[in-house]
Amino acid sequence: MKYIFVTGGVVSSLGKGLAAASLGTLLEHRGLRVTLQKLDPYLNVDPGTMNPLQHGEVYVLADGAETDLDLGHYERFTKCVLTRDNNLTSGQVYETVLAKERRGDYLGKTVQVIPHITDEIKNRIRTLEQAGNADVLITEIGGTTGDIEGLPFLEAIRQFILQVGHENAILLHVTLVPYIKAAGELKTKPTQQSVAKLREIGLQPEVLICRTEKPLEEDVREKLSLYCNVPISSVIEARDVENSIYEFPLMLQAEGLDEKVCKLLHLETPPADMERWKMIVHSIVHPSRRVKIAVVGKYVELQDAYKSIYESLCHAGGANDCGVDLEIVDAEQIEAEGAEIFLNGVGGILVPGGFGDRGTEGKVAAARYARENKIPFLGICLGMQIATIEFARNVCGLEGANSTEFDAATPHPVIALLDEQKEVAGKGGSMRLGSWPAVLKAGSLAHKIYGQAEIAERHRHRYEFNSTYRAQMEEKGFIISGTSPNGSLVEMIEHRDHPWFVAVQFHPEFLSKPEAPHPLFDEFIRASLG
């Protein structure tokens, strides 16, 4: 296996994850099998318990792992299907090492960062080699060079590269080359210093990926090469993409990144054939029409909180020759001012997932507005629970219907915990996570959308539709169009008296790619155009 490590310097948010994913795209289009991994220096065991406003969305893998949102980029940009081994946090490393220590595995030795923590990190990199399904592993290290908490990871990588040799493992450093207006110049000093930090601990990057607003002129490249000790051909310019993140692989290809990487790693392959990718990017960037989609949520301040949903809408837009104008609506504002002013005139309404009761009444109002005005509606996870509450209250006359998550004393708990979940104490312990199969009702909209009767989708939730209310709601036109194979869990619902009202207990946004938009988003956009 060949190894590519990706670090970031100067500032965070440089798009390291996108750079890693884009390199993955290019290598895959050269015929290589690629997998990607993220090492996160924070001490949480996983991001499952973090507020989305802190950390962005929690991305869920097929095996149920709750991971960093960069894994979403990895899966969208490549064909790889990741597992819990592909996201490692310091929390996990320490958890494992401390468990071994308690078991007595270290035979009386003093347990230390070097070698015990670093060995554990190296083991977890090796695990992906043992899986045997990739030629190249791209490992991204979270954080910024110079962070104290990142040091064990960098030290582990230094040892790792030494052990497998430079022809098998390389380091790419993503860095910022800022433009200083007053001087009218690009400045290389921050990059020099962040590379110096790496060299101090024995790491020499082979390639610099330079994020910049302006073109890197020859003299800037020369300076970076000289001071950072990399050949000038390894100074890669990465300008801010103009329209779409999916342009990033094309930009890096034009700079010769994949060619360079293959040469360094002695990988002989034909050049990457990016024709189809280019066509997809073109249809995303130059659509001939537009549609307005309202996303009614509560984590509206942070673009990253609903990352995969926004990306899925973008993929579906591309497939329908249509640009998606997002109208991000704060559910609490709907509570204060009513749905009409925010939702009047939109093509479609989407209510995404969420936890806790803040903003839920605003979302219920949005679902009602979509139902009454026959506006296409897509409810995701909490969005399906909201649509259920709305229908129970306003169509079935079940006054005060609610989820027990928001009102423990509701007279009509149409969304509730299953009995067997009630015992579990730890946060996360009672979640339904990862890929679950479902069967679709013949003749339903869901069945038509998927074009098949059996599906598998990723879940992340605690509460479920309460089946005691099934018959009562179905009678009024609430269609249960998808269930777990034994029929016990409700996975998809739709409305009989509405042209396109679909809500799902799972997260379809984790399965959409630019090259293969998810059918639910695809049809939602199509309906919203109509």
Instruction: By CB under 6 A, name the binding residues for ligand GLN.
Output: 353-355, 381-382, 405, 460-463
Q: Which residue is nearest to ligand GLN (CB)?
A: 353
Q: Is 375 exposed, middle or buried (0-12, 13-18, 19+ CB in 10 A)?
A: buried
Tokens of 238: 């990465």
Taking alpha carbons only, the member of 146, 142, 98, 137 closest to residue 120 is: 98
Give the Å distances, CA to CA, from 472 to 164, 289, 414, 475, 478.
Answer: 64, 42, 11, 5, 9
326 vs 115: CA distance, rounded Å: 49
For 229, how many CA atoms within 13 A lie in the half-sphere containing its CB? Answer: 11
d(CA 379, CA 502): 6
Q: In whole angstroms, how close is the CB of 286 to ligand GLN at the nearest point?
A: 34
Indicate the length of the chain as a whole number.
530
The H or E element containing residue 2 is strand 2-8
Residue in 397, 384, 402, 383 with CA at minimum distance from that of residue 331: 383
Tell me the CB-side half-sphere exposure of residue 315, using CA atoms within 13 A.
25
**Nearest distance from residue 460's CB to ligand GLN, in Å?**
5
Query: Residues 524, 504: contact at Cβ < 8 Å?
Result: no
Tokens at residue 530, please? 């109509």
The distance of closest approach from Cβ of residue 50 to ligand GLN in the complex, given in angstroms and rounded to an integer, is 14
Question: At closest approach, how far in Å is the CB of 354 from ligand GLN?
Answer: 5
Q: Report residue 323 CA to chain centroid gap.
A: 21
Please give the Cα distance from 126 to 130 (Å, whole number).
6
Neighbour tally for 285: CB within 10 Å: 15
Q: Residue 309 Cβ, how far from ligand GLN at the closest point, in Å?
A: 11
Give the 3-state DSSP-derived string for 284-344, with helices as H, strands as E and coil as C.
HHCCCEEEEEEEEECCCCCHHHHHHHHHHHHHHHHHCCEEEEEEEEEHHHHHHHCCHHHHC
Which positions are annotated as active-site residues?
Answer: 381, 507, 509
Q: How far is the CB of 88 from ligand GLN (least distance, A)?
A: 24
CB-based contact 309:326 (threshold 8 Å): no
Check if the beta carbon of residue 415 is closer than 8 Å to that of residue 402: yes
Q: Which is nearer to ligand GLN, 238 or 381 (CB)?
A: 381
Nearer to ligand GLN among residue 22 and residue 67 (C-beta): 67
- CB of 158 or CB of 462, closer to ligand GLN: 462
How far apart CA 236 and CA 185 sit, in angstroms, is: 18
Residue 71 CB-density burial (10 A; 0-12 exposed, 13-18 middle, 19+ buried): buried
Nearest approach in angstroms of CB 355 to ligand GLN is 4
Least Å distance between CB 482 and ligand GLN?
Answer: 16
Pick the closer one to ligand GLN by CB: 221 or 298.
298
Question: Least distance from C-beta 253 to ligand GLN, angstroms?
Answer: 36
Residue 77 to residues 249, 309, 311, 475, 520: CA-CA distances in angstroms? Answer: 9, 15, 11, 44, 20
Annotate 470-528 with three-state secondary structure: HHHHHCCCEEEEEECCCCCCEEEEEECCCCCEEEECCCHHHHCECCECCHHHHHHHHHH
